Amino acid sequence: MKTLNINILPYSMFAIAIASVAMSNDAVAKLNVLATTTDLGAITREVGGDFLSVDVVAKGTQDPHFVEAKPSFMLKANKADLLIAVGLDLEIGWLPSILRGARNPKINPGSPGYLEIGPTAEPLDAAKGNLTRAEGDVHPLGNPHVTLDPIRVGNIAVTLARRLGELDSTNASTYLERARAFKKRLEEKTRAWQARIDKSGVKKIVTYHKTLTYFFSRFKIQNVAILEPKPGIPPTSGHIIQVIGIIKEQKVPLVLVENFFDPAVTRKILQEVPGVRSHTVPVSIEGEPEIKTFDDLYENLTATIEGSHK
């Protein structure tokens, strides 16, 4: 009997300790947010600050169309209170597998814990009429690279803040204030970036994929040719010859290759067209180690266009 009493004491203390830790954790519990891309992760951190715990699936160096549904992401999704995705079929090849593996009804499509921001961001290039895959890897609902427009990103931050406020009403006003401050900052900087791009005189650019559509639309640049003959199809020599023709004819000064693509294809262009510049650019946060915020991302693109990039 004496032995039993001695044994109960440490167990009771342990149970009390566990209970108190659990209660204290509840008191300061942060919302867990899982973002599909580093850009969405960055918006979430801007809006949520220290009130949120943020994880990201795709790395900034990866093509977001092709990410593997690693089970470790399912584990993160299982613990998420909110999943934020671009939608517009960007993640169609991998997010459904992560969601099914996560077994977390809180973040099922249609639930408050699931937010697709692409459709709310006035997508461009939405299909009109019937589509066929003979046109390549097309996105019928619109171009999904919406986070390359600073104005749209500001609006997305406000949309996200509202959703976070629904999930965490205590901090709702803080989320909205932070989102509005972020939006204002981007709007002000957009005017400065626009002035610099206008001053550079660059009006036409060739890219590898239609990734920079929103950036070009915002800053009044024409994407006159794409190195991929069709979305998702690698460049062919015949198509590159056509693109070289367009570059010469329209006096295009710049070719940009998104940094998850192989830039080797631009060698022929540089040989054939003297004076044309070619750069590999990050198009996502963390696409390069020094690109940590949206300010860094758009600043780098602007500097590359005006030719002041180191």
Partner 1 sequence: MRHSVLICALSAIVLSISASTFAQEGGTSTDTAAAAKRAGKGLNPDTGVNFLGLYRKSVQGNDSAAPNPNGFSFQEAELQFSADVDPYLRAVGLFSIGEVESSAPNGPHDHEFGLEPEEVYLESISLPSVTLKLGKFKAAFGRHNILHTHAFPFLDAPLINDSLLGEEGLNDLGASASFLVPAPWFVELTAQGMAANSETLYASTNPNHLAGVAQLKNLWDLSDDTTLELNLFGTTGKNRFDGDSNAYGTDLTLKWRPSVGGKYRSISWTTEYLNGYVGGDFGEETPAFGPRLGGIASWVQFQFAQRWWLQARAEILGLPQAEDLDSTKRQSVLLGFFPSEFSGFRLQYNRLTQPELPTDHAVALQWNISIGAHPAHLY
Helix (H) or strand (E) holding 123: none
Pick from 32, 41, 48, 106: which binds partner 1 (CB under 8 A)? 106
Binding of partner 1 by 100 (CB under 8 A): yes
User: Of the candidates 42, 57, 80, 95, which one interacts with partner 1 according to CB under 8 A?
Assistant: 95
Q: Which of 140, 245, 246, 308 binds partner 1 (CB under 8 A)?
A: 140
How many CB atoms are located within 10 Å of the residue 288 CB?
Answer: 17
Q: Is 114 within 8 Å of 182 (Cβ atoms)?
A: no
Only one of the segments 34-42, 87-95, 174-182, 184-192 lies at the binding site for partner 1 (rule: CB under 8 A); that segment is: 87-95
Tokens of residue 67, six digits: 């990410």
Burial class (CB in 10 A: 0-12, 13-18, 19+), 282: buried
Strand partners, 168: none
- What residues between 110 and 139 interact with partner 1 by CB under 8 A? 110-112, 114-120, 133, 136-137
- 97, 194, 223, 250: residue in contact with partner 1 (rule CB under 8 A): 97
Q: Are 263 and 256 in contact (CB under 8 A)?
A: no
Q: Which stretch binds partner 1 (CB under 8 A): 2-10, 73-81, 199-207, 267-275?
A: 73-81
**Whose Cβ is closer to partner 1: residue 247's or residue 281's?**
281
What is the total count of residues that contact partner 1 (CB under 8 A)?
A: 52
Query: Strands, DSSP E only, in 109-251?
Result: 114-116, 204-207, 222-226
- Looking up tokens 């290039």, which residue turns up? 125
CB 230 within 8 A of CB 248: no
Pull the structure tokens for residue 15.
């149970």
Contact characters 192-231, partner 1, x per CB under 8 A: ----------------------------------------
Q: Does residue 188 bind partner 1 (CB under 8 A)? A: no
The H-or-E segment that residue 219 falls in is none
Minimal distance in Å, beta carbon 52 to partner 1? Answer: 19
**240-279 residues near partner 1, rule: CB under 8 A:** 260-262
In the list 1, 3, 9, 105, the residue contacting partner 1 (rule: CB under 8 A) is 105
Longest dimension (CA), the chain: 97
The reply to whether 66 sits near partner 1 by the rule CB under 8 A is: yes
Report residue 98 CA to chain centroid gap: 17
Using left for φ > 0, alpha for ψ between -120 and 50, and beta otherwise, residue 110 falls in left
Asked if 108 interacts with partner 1 (CB under 8 A), we say yes
Options 41-49, 57-65, 175-183, 265-273: segment touching partner 1 (CB under 8 A): 57-65
- Paired tokens of 158: 């406000």
Report the nearest approach of partner 1 to the CB of residue 98 (Å).
9
Minimum distance, C-beta of residue 23 to partner 1, in the bound complex (Å) = 19
Distance, CA of 115 to CA of 112 (rounded, Å):
7
Q: Which of 8, 75, 192, 195 is close enough to bind partner 1 by CB under 8 A? A: 75
SS3 292: coil
Residue 72, classified by CB atoms within 10 Å of its CB into exposed (0-12), middle (13-18) or buried (19+), is exposed
User: Which of 55, 166, 296, 299 contacts partner 1 by CB under 8 A?
Assistant: 166
Binding site for partner 1 (CB under 8 A): 59, 61-63, 66, 68-72, 74-75, 78, 87, 89, 92-97, 100-106, 108-112, 114-120, 133, 136-137, 140-141, 166, 232-234, 260-262
